Amino acid sequence: MRELYADIIIDISHEKLDRPFQYRVPETLAGKLETGMCVAVPFGAGNRLRKGYIVGLGDVCKFDPARMKEIAGTVRGESVVEERQIALAAWIRKNYGSTMIQALKTVLPARQTVKKLERRTIRRLMGREEILSLLGESRRKKQAAKGRLLEEMADQETIPYEWVTGKLGVSAQTVNSLERAGVLRVESSLSFRNPVKVEASREKEKTLSQAQGQVVEEVLADYDQGQVGTYLLHGITGSGKTEVYIRLVQGIVERGRQAVVLIPEIALTYQTLLRFYRCFGDRVSVLNSTLSAGEKYDQCERARKGEIDVIIGPRSALFTPFPDIGLIVIDEEHEGSYKSESSPKYHAREVAREVARLHGASVVLGSATPSLEAYYRARKGEYRLYTLGERLTGGSLPKVYIEDLRKELQEGNRSIFSRRFQGLLAERLERGEQAILFLNRRGYAGFVSCRACGHVMKCPHCDVSLSEHRGGRLLCHYCGYSQPKPPHCPECGSPYISGFKAGTQQIEEKLKEMYPGVRTLRMDGDTTRTKGSYEQILATFGNREADVLIGTQMIVKGHDFPGVTLVGVLAADLSLGVGDYRASERTFQLLTQAVGRAGRGELAGEAVIQTYQPEHYAVTYAAAQDYPGFYGEEILFRELMGYPPASHMMAVQVFARDETRGAGLASHLAKLAGDAATDTLSIQILGPAPGSIGRVNDIFRFVFYVKSKEYDTLIGIKDFLEEKIPSWQLSGESVQFDFDPMNTL
Ligand code: ADP
Ligand code: ZN
Ligand code: ZN
């Protein structure tokens, strides 16, 4: 192909110019241009020279040749920073598949004027002792909200107003009454700088434990010797990981470089932020979803100008235009939110490694339940593994019981609570302790199992669970295999074969029926829809204004509740039934986290896991809190079936208005993919099949999977398909790629 024409984006943040313009490549530049390069082009009526990025090259003229302008010349990026960002966009495009525009938009912050917002702050007007005595009084009077505010104020001079009314769930009236009483003052300021402002107060340095100290020393020593690498920190919640991150960031900042700290949005608690603010004061900033585009852009500008050293945020914080990153931390690296769900579907863990390569930085991953990917790499020696053993704040691991629901049914217990759980809960209520009831709702969408023997209907080809669809057919979402739902269990002949159908609301009702007077709170998608309700529920429970918190996976993360001494997990195996190769991994993570919620305080905890599959390794190892044990079994399954991380897998997703056309396109692409592989033995194609939700908003979804040991083979197939796609008459169809997918389509 001769590269005669170039598609160029003039300005990615200008809405009207959000498309490529075609320019002629002059003789002098022939063969010298590449996608992602920065060029100068004449633009508009006045032909003013503007800077643009090349997003495509080709020999097809898509425009009136007589009126086509010519590229004036190449320009070096405005700065090293910009050149690195463009290189990163090109890397993302290549490795995950998307247009260059999408990749640039992911990486470069959109220029936005910053609206100066009025920010209100609450300043305390009394000393700590006085606040504490008021706190005691409000506790006696059971004024919970007031208590929450006073408790915060005891530690801080100022608190952001939005945080008090939002996260703390304190009403404006309560704030006003305290202002009238002279306890505090509401101040407003025009600020657009730090989203949260806290005076860095001198906190006495903790002496690191031996295990913590070793990590900090070795990572920094490697860094000083120019041996940057990737490290995996495996340690339960409370084992001191955050403290290690802070010390490492300190070390890097002292060496004159910057650090990026990724934290999943849900774990981005005020407590964690405070610890960073106390260390880095004004030199740290936070990116989160509550910031406007303008505010985000402002944070990027500050980073570019060297006004901050540390940024904390979700996966997009990776693209902060720091001049010289020395360290990237990814906390809770196993979290699904590190994978982008829109094109380019990149994973922060991999992109972090590339950013680190471009800057010469180290990467530190942390988790209580590492992803199979990270642990696999650590085992192969690509990452250095560290284990932090104990909880530093005391509290022991809970005693865990696995209750077999098949046995409960056999022995006449038709309730959704096992007899063991009923007994333990009654004890808690009597003693005034708290309990958490976790309903594992993942995979609610119709997997089918036997109530009598626990047998799960699985695909004979892919070894993942089949899902029930309308009309009673069972379907595999990887390969499309389908069969009618059997009337009796194929294992034991029982007619009790079905899905699980209880929600948190029914559970709450049952609980109230069995334990009259029990105070319950419910946390799920329904009760947390409004802003601030999530924090409010947690705060209410934390203040012991309820006995039992019932909820879906969102309750297993985040806050610590010292009053909780019992955790019940209902239907632990539901998430095992998701038609997805990560089902066991997710189940293990959820159960480990859930079980770990019990016994965070002085009192010992107990946990009950109810399941139809008590012998499943994800259940038994979670009960034992044994990560290496789980990993050992799970990796055998991945290796046997060729699933990541033992192999790589690319999902090709087709979206179509017309069902027949969509299905046709998917099969055609799948066939092409097969032809594209030079050595067909090295790849395996599954499907195509309809997506697990076959139609969303009248768009039909189809997907097929390509497996290969080599990631590059998959990239080659993606490039080949991408090259073919523009020449087809796509009308109402689109194609996306998802590498090593976290979810089925
Ligand atoms: P993680 O991030 O693994 O959950 P943290 O770093 O938050 O763990 O530590 C848990 C608790 O232990 C925090 O309250 C923290 O202040 C405290 N902590 C951490 N390291 C030490 C230490 N070396 N000495 C005393 N307390 C510590
Ligand atoms: Zn059965
Ligand atoms: Zn299958």
Cα 349 from Cα 231, distance rounded (Å) = 12
Closest-CA residue to 310 (of 280, 332, 335): 280
Helix axes 241-254, 210-224, angle to 10 degrees: 30
Bridge partners (DSSP) listed for residue 234: 367, 387
Question: Relative to the CA of 275, which ligand 1 atom is closest?
Answer: 16
Q: What pLDDT is stored for residue 193 in this prediction?
A: 45
Distance from the CA of 243 to the center of ligand 1, in angstroms? 6
CA atoms within 13 A on the CB side of 98: 24
Q: Which of 337-351, 469-483, 592-606 has the highest mean pLDDT?
A: 337-351
Q: What pLDDT is stored for residue 681 in this prediction?
A: 63
Cβ of 242 below 6 Å from ligand 1 = yes
- The DSSP-derived string for 231-244 is EEEEE-TTSSHHHH
Q: How confident is the model at residue 444 (pLDDT cuts 50, 70, 90)?
A: very low
Q: What are phi and psi of 377, to 5 degrees?
A: -65, -40
Cβ of 314 below 6 Å from ligand 1 = no
Q: What are phi and psi of 129, to 5 degrees?
A: -60, -45
- The conformational region for residue 691 under phi > 0 = left, psi -120 to 50 = alpha, else beta, is beta
Cβ of 579 below 6 Å from ligand 1 = no
3-state secondary structure labels for all residues of 570-620: ECHHHHHHCCCCCHHHHHHHHHHHHHCCCCCCCCCCEEEEEECCCCCHHHH
Cα 510 from Cα 29, distance rounded (Å) = 74
Q: How confident is the model at residue 278 (pLDDT cuts 50, 70, 90)?
A: confident
Reported in sequence order, the residue ranges of 60-177 that DSSP labels E, i.e. its strands, are 73-74, 118-124, 158-160
Has residue 195 got a pLDDT over 50?
no
Closest-CA residue to 52 (of 79, 31, 22, 80): 22
Q: What pLDDT is stored for residue 141 in this prediction?
A: 84
Q: How confident is the model at residue 111 (pLDDT cuts 50, 70, 90)?
A: low
Is 311 in contact with 303 (CB distance < 8 Å)?
yes
| Percent above pLDDT 90 for the chain | 37
Distance from the CA of 449 to the center of ligand 2, in angstroms? 8
Has residue 18 got a pLDDT over 70?
no
593 Cβ neighbours under 8 A, 6+ residues apart: 237, 368, 369, 556, 557
Cβ of 653 below 6 Å from ligand 1 = no
Q: What pLDDT is stored for residue 443 in this prediction?
A: 42
Closest-CA residue to 429 (of 554, 538, 563, 607): 563
Tokens (6 digits) for 654: 């087709």
Cβ of 560 below 6 Å from ligand 1 = no
CA 20 to chain centroid, in Å, comes to: 32
Q: Which of 300-314, 472-486, 524-538 has the highest mean pLDDT?
A: 300-314
pLDDT, average across residues 472-484: 82
Per-residue pLDDT tens over the stretch 492-514? 988 878 766 567 777 888 899 99
Minimal-distance CA residue to ligand 1 atom 20: 240
Distances in Å between the alpha carbon of 301 and those of 137, 290, 431, 534, 728?
Answer: 46, 18, 55, 32, 42
Cβ of 240 below 6 Å from ligand 1 = yes
Q: What pLDDT is stored for residue 435 in this prediction?
A: 94
Has residue 473 got a pLDDT over 60?
yes
Cβ of 596 below 6 Å from ligand 1 = no
Minimal-distance CA residue to ligand 1 atom 14: 393
Q: Give the other-Cβ count within 10 Å of 496's Cβ.
A: 14
Distance from the CA of 621 to the center of ligand 2, in angstroms? 24
Q: Which of 24-33, 386-395, 534-543, 641-650 has the lowest mean pLDDT?
A: 386-395
Minimal-distance CA residue to ligand 1 atom 19: 240
Tokens (6 digits) for 151: 């408790």
Question: Relative to the CA of 243, which ligand 1 atom is closest?
Answer: 6
Higher pLDDT, 119 or 628: 628
pLDDT, average across residues 371-383: 96
Q: What pLDDT is stored for residue 190 in this prediction?
A: 43
Is 569 in contact with 421 (CB distance < 8 Å)?
no
Q: Which of 141-155, 243-257, 568-582 has the highest mean pLDDT?
A: 243-257
Cβ of 600 below 6 Å from ligand 1 = no
Per-residue pLDDT tens over the stretch 676-727? 776 656 889 998 998 876 676 678 889 999 999 999 999 999 988 988 876 6
Q: How confident is the model at residue 192 (pLDDT cuts 50, 70, 90)?
A: very low
Higher pLDDT, 345 or 50: 345
Question: Relative to the CA of 237, which ligand 1 atom is closest?
Answer: 4
Has residue 188 got a pLDDT over 70?
no
Minimal-distance CA residue to ligand 1 atom 23: 208
Which numbered ligand comes closest to the C-alpha of 482?
3
Distance from the CA of 448 to the center of ligand 1, in angstroms? 43
Which residue type occupies 715? I
Higher pLDDT, 482 or 157: 482
Q: Give the other-Cβ count within 10 Å of 188's Cβ.
A: 10
Q: How confident is the model at residue 148 (pLDDT cuts 50, 70, 90)?
A: confident
Which DSSP category does 412 fall into? T
Per-residue pLDDT tens over the stretch 219-231? 999 999 999 999 9
Tokens (6 digits) for 49: 């020279």
If one residue of 209, 243, 250, 279 were mutated to test the ligand 1 pocket, choosing by the most ligand atoms within 8 A of its CB, it would be 243
pLDDT, average across residues 165-176: 84
Burial (CB < 10 A; 0-12, 13-18, 19+), residue 284, is buried
Q: Which of 79-83, 296-300, 346-350 has the highest mean pLDDT?
A: 346-350
Q: What are phi and psi of 88, to 5 degrees?
A: -65, -40
CA torsion through residues 490, 494, 500, 501, sign:
positive
Has residue 524 got a pLDDT over 70?
yes
Question: Relative to the CA of 207, which ligand 1 atom is closest?
Answer: 23
Q: Considering the chain, what is the average pLDDT of its residues?
A: 84
Distance from the CA of 647 to the center of ligand 2, in angstroms? 33
Q: How confident is the model at residue 249 (pLDDT cuts 50, 70, 90)?
A: very high
pLDDT, average across residues 645-666: 93
Cβ of 222 below 6 Å from ligand 1 = no
Q: How confident is the model at residue 17 (pLDDT cuts 50, 70, 90)?
A: low
Cα 308 from Cα 196, distance rounded (Å) = 14
Cβ of 237 below 6 Å from ligand 1 = yes
Cβ of 212 below 6 Å from ligand 1 = yes
Cβ of 337 below 6 Å from ligand 1 = no
Torsion, Cα 707 710 712 715, to 10 degrees, reads 10
Q: What pLDDT is stored for residue 90 in this prediction?
A: 87
Distance from the CA of 208 to the center of ligand 1, in angstroms? 9
Q: What pLDDT is stored for residue 688 in this prediction?
A: 93
Minimal-distance CA residue to ligand 1 atom 8: 240
pLDDT, average across residues 545-565: 81
Has residue 105 got a pLDDT over 80?
yes
pLDDT, average across residues 119-132: 80
Closest-CA residue to 435 (of 333, 348, 541): 541
Q: What pLDDT is stored for residue 1 in this prediction?
A: 59
Distance from the CA of 745 to the center of ligand 2, in angstroms? 29
| Percent above pLDDT 70 for the chain | 87
Tokens (6 digits) for 460: 């004979």
Cβ of 709 below 6 Å from ligand 1 = no
If one residue of 210, 232, 241, 242 were mutated to test the ligand 1 pocket, choosing by the most ligand atoms within 8 A of its CB, it would be 242
Helix axes 372-379, 627-641, angle to 10 degrees: 90
Which residue type occupies 49? L
Q: What pLDDT is stored for residue 223 in this prediction?
A: 95
Cβ of 209 below 6 Å from ligand 1 = yes
Q: Which of 251-255, 289-293, 407-411 has the lowest mean pLDDT?
A: 289-293
Is 579 in contact with 744 (CB distance < 8 Å)?
yes
